[in-house]
Amino acid sequence: MLFRSGLDLDLVTGKGAAGTISQGAPRFKLVVTGGDFYFQGNRAFWLHAAHSQAAVQLLLGKWIRYPSAGAQFGSVSHLTSIKTLMDALVKAHGTLAKGSMTTIGGQPAIALNDSNGGKLYVATTGKPYPLELIAKHSTGGRVTFTKYGHSFTIAAPKHSRQRFTVGN
C-alpha cells in the first residue's frame, strides 16, 4: 500500500526547524532546537507507534522531548538542516542539462533536467534559489521550497515530557 508522505518545515540556519511530517494518516508536529527534538503525534501516529488506545490517551496532545542526536529520529534529523536536506535530495543525480523556462509559485524559473529523470527548478530572478525538485521515481515525489528570507522563530514547546519507551 502506498501512503502519501508530507513534509512542511520551516528551517532556520543555526537555529533549528519546526513543522509537520506525515505518512498517510499518521502525522506529527516537530521542533528541533537547542540540541533537542520535540514531537507531538496525532491519534493515528500514536496508534501506529504504540498499538494501544491507552498510549493514545496518555500521549495525545503532549510534546515529547528526545536528544536530537538520538537514534530514534535519525531518519528525520537530516530533514531539519537545510544543508543536509539539500545534500540528501540531490546526492544521486546524473548529468544535468539546462531545460525550459517556466514559472514556479509565481517566480520565473529554469529547469535543470537530470539524466536520471528528475528536475530541479531554480529561480532566474533574484538569488538562484531552488524552488522545486521533482523526483525521478514513478511515485512523482515533489518538494517545493518557499518563504526564502522570511523570519521564523524556532522555540522549544513549553511543558514537554522527557522521552520514554513506547511500544514493543
| Strands annotated E in 79-140 | 96-104, 107-114, 119-123, 130-134
Round to whole Å and give the CA distance between 116 and 148.
28
Round to whole Å and give the CA distance between 134 and 124.
18
Residue by residue, pLDDT tens for the chain (168 residues) are 455 677 788 888 778 889 888 888 999 999 988 888 898 999 999 998 888 899 899 999 999 988 765 556 556 666 677 777 777 666 767 788 999 999 999 999 999 998 888 888 999 999 999 998 887 765 567 788 888 888 888 899 988 877 655 444
Closest to 35 in 3D by CA, of 8, 73, 62: 73
Specify the pTM.
0.72
pLDDT value of position 167: 47
pLDDT value of position 70: 58
pLDDT value of position 7: 79
Q: b or e along 132-160 (b: 16 or more beta carbons within 10 Å of the residue's beta carbon)?
A: bbbbbeeeeeeeebeeeeeeeebeebeeb
pLDDT value of position 126: 93
- Residues composing the chain: 168
pLDDT value of position 97: 92
